[in-house]
Structure 1
Amino acid sequence: MSSSDLSDSDFQDLFENAPCGYLSLGADGKVVRVNATLCNWLGKSSDDLVGKRLRDILNVAGSIFYETHFAPLLRMQGFFEEVALDLLKPDGTLLPVLANAAERRISGELAFTRVTLFRAPQRRRHERELSEARRSEREARGKLEEINAGLQHRITDAAVQQTQAVEEAELREQFIAVLGHDLRNPLAGFAGGTNILTQMHGDPKSIRVLRLMRESIKRMEGLIDNLMDFARGRLGGGIHVEPSSGQRIEPTIAQVVNEMKAGHPERNIEMRLDLPQTVDVDHPRIAQMFSNLLGNAIAHGSEDRPIVVEARTAEGDFLLSVANGGEPIPQAALDRLFRPFYRGEVRPSMQGLGLGLYIASQIAQAHDGRIDVTSDEKETRFTFRMPIGGSVDQR
């Protein structure tokens, strides 16, 4: 046997029996070649897979997630790395994998796409996202159904049809995978409907129910914004900020505190502001970050001790902190606080996806800053710190 024959044989053995799965997709997206390793993983032959599309061997949620997130990413930049997918085996069980893909173009035209698959036995990020989002969607739907039952006789035929359309959309299992895109428009319509009903009905019962509806809408908008910010942070290179100069930050802080006090009148929130100069920040984003930190203190802090908000400058930095009393955060939880979809030990009444602190940390990073946490028997304190830079004294 010649050396060239041996080389070809080695190459063929490396492809077929590599410790990872190989797929080659034609320009039309169909499988044109697959190695023996992947066939063995799936319990299928090469003939079973050739001619299929990648989505045909994924579970339903994974197929939608791939088509709406990673297929566009592949078309845009020509590759993706470490994408979590679930391959569907003939017996209905799932094979979790991490996928890398790269396009091969000739004279600017797509010739084929190489896909490499690695086993991933651990639960991955997108599975946690789907699970948490489904649970939050069910809770939100239950709230809406409860409110709609009390207003059924007051809503016009058009509003009923709109509500039914929203509910039908929410009942689709795949809706969660594209939550941020599909829910914004009907939610805006629902908000508009509540505004109209507010003008039409002034009796105390209607006012109370409509207020509950607006609170539910605001909560759902927050979930959507968090999911979209999460997607932008992970797939878009971070959260974008547009700092403004010469604008005082105290009114922004006070507005968030007042909003929280209105929603939680029983909680004591103290403000201590000492800012001799302006701070160049993106005010809506800082308000979002501060609202997450303050909401976290309200949710987890001791109800019989005040929450203290401090804003000051020190050694060329702007510091904004939120402190609350209560049980200290365990070290194991501190290490994971800013991870997405991590909620720690929460009360049964608490809602959310576990994205608030993650997004707050991303906003801090976008301002070239960071959020530090200290927690002991005395207090738990979250501190946002960022360099002031060229801020100008306005006093």
Structure 2
Amino acid sequence: MEKEPGDDLMDYKFLYDTAPCGLLTFKMNGQIIYANQTLLKWLGVNDEEIAAKKMTDFLDKAGVMYYELFVQPILKMHKEVKEINLNIQTSKGAFSCLFNGVAVDSKAGEGEIIHAIIFKVEDRQKYEKELLLRRNKAEEDNKLKSKALREVSFDQSHLVRAPLANILGLVSMLEKAIHKDHEAHRFITMLQQSASKLDNQIKSIVNKANLKP
């Protein structure tokens, strides 16, 4: 008779096998005891085949060395490890994962065993690469915009300041020529002050663009 949906929700073996992560139990020497169906599917093996394997059989040479020299000693000493990056090797290829494990005493009196959770990180790596590409593109765009701004500031400052310098020179000459006319002298002074303010504004814009005026 088929199980009712409600029965499956209370079936811990069912939950264990269908968890969206790999669940693995193995001895401290690496001999695998249990693996859920999710992990078996990822590895491309069945229950009988996994029983003849060690945890390190699914790692490359560098991964085996890393596990034996770093991960295993921590498990023995501190009884747990968190978010260890490993590359799992399968017959269909390899995938990156995060490995979390905790060491507990076996109820069967066989010493310590490891309960581990394995999370695939393929999607996260794709997301991180996409973020990195976008950040690099944004930085490159900002560099191009800054370069364009500096070029515009430089060109405009020279284009504007050249005639401005002529105006200031002409104002000075006019001031000397009609220094007896007080009304004209007042207008020339106002013109000179306005031109000086404009000159200072141009210098300020150029300085903001990190250019010498």
In the superposition, the TM-score normalised over structure 2's length comes to 0.51
**Superposed displacement of residue 105, structure 1:** 2.0
Partners of 1:68 and 1:46 in 2: how far apart? 28
CA distance in structure 1 between the aligned counterparts of 2:65 and 2:125, rounded to whole angstroms:
18
| Paired residue secondary structure (1:19) | coil
CA positional deviation for 1:123: 5.2
| Alignment correspondent of 2:176 | none
- Give the equivalent residue in structure 2 for 1:101: 101
- Structure 2 counterpart of 1:103, which letter? A
How far is the alpha carbon of 1:106 from its aligned partner?
5.9
TM-superposed CA distance for 1:18, in Å, is: 0.4
Q: CA 1:59 to 1:106, structure 2 compared with 1: closer, same or farther past 3 Å?
A: closer
**How big is the shift at 1:31?**
0.3
Conserved 8 A contact 2:30-2:56: no
By relative contact order (CA 8 Å, sep 6+), the higher-ranking structure is 2
User: Percent identity at matched positions?
Assistant: 25
Q: Greater Rg, structure 1 or structure 2?
A: 2
For 2:17, the equivalent position in structure 1 comes to: 16
Amino acid in structure 2 at the alignment position of 1:39: L
Question: Partner amino acid for 1:56?
Answer: D
Distance in 2, matches of 1:331 and 1:377, equals: 21
Seen in structure 2, the aligned counterparts of structure 1 residues 7 and 43 have a Cα distance that, compared at 3 Å, is closer
Distance in 1 between the 2:71 and 2:44 partners? 26
1:39 aligns with 2:36: no
CA contact (8 A) 2:9 2:15 kept: no
Residue 97 of structure 1 aligns with an amino acid whose one-letter code is C
8 A contact 1:23–1:31 mirrored in 2? yes
- Residue 75 of structure 2 aligns with an amino acid whose one-letter code is L
CA separation of 1:47 and 1:109: change in aligned 2, threshold 3 A:
closer
For 1:123 and 1:73, the matched residues in 2 are separated by 26
Match runs of 1:16-95 below 5 Å: 16-91=17-92, 93-95=93-95
After TM superposition, give the deviation of residue 68 of structure 1 in Å: 1.5
Q: Which runs of 5+ in 1 are unaligned?
A: 125-329, 334-375, 379-395
- Structure 1 residues 10 and 110: CA distance shift in structure 2, 3 A: same
Q: Match of 2:111, SS?
A: strand
**Residues 281-334 of structure 1 deviation map (CA, whole Å, 9 limit, x = unaligned):** xxxxxxxxxxxxxxxxxxxxxxxxxxxxxxxxxxxxxxxxxxxxxxxxx9969x
Cα deviations by residue, 1:218-247 (Å, 9 ceiling, x for unpaired):
xxxxxxxxxxxxxxxxxxxxxxxxxxxxxx
**Per residue, is there more helix in 1 or in 2?**
2
CA distance in 1 between partners of 2:18 and 2:11 (Å): 10
Q: Could you tell me how far 1:12 is from its partner in structure 2?
A: 1.0
- Partner secondary structure for residue 63 of structure 1: helix
Distance change (3 Å), C-alpha of 1:58 and 1:377? farther
Query: Within 5 A, what are the aligned runs for 1:376-391?
Result: none
Counterpart of 2:51, as a letter, is V
Whether contact under 8 Å (1:103, 1:113) holds in the other structure is: yes
CA RMSD of aligned residues (A): 3.4
1:25 and 1:106 map into 2 onto residues whose CA distance is 10
Q: Aligned with 1:56: secondary structure?
A: helix
- Does the residue aligned with 1:39 lie in a helix, a strand or coil? helix
CA 1:111–1:72: 2 relative to 1, 3 Å: closer
Match of 2:145 in 1: none
1:327 corresponding residue in structure 2: none
Give 2:100's aligned amino acid: N
The alignment's TM-score, normalised by the length of structure 1, stands at 0.29
Asked if the contact 1:32/1:51 (under 8 Å) is kept, the reply is no
The residue number in structure 2 matching 1:110 is 111
| Partner amino acid, structure 2, of 1:101 | G
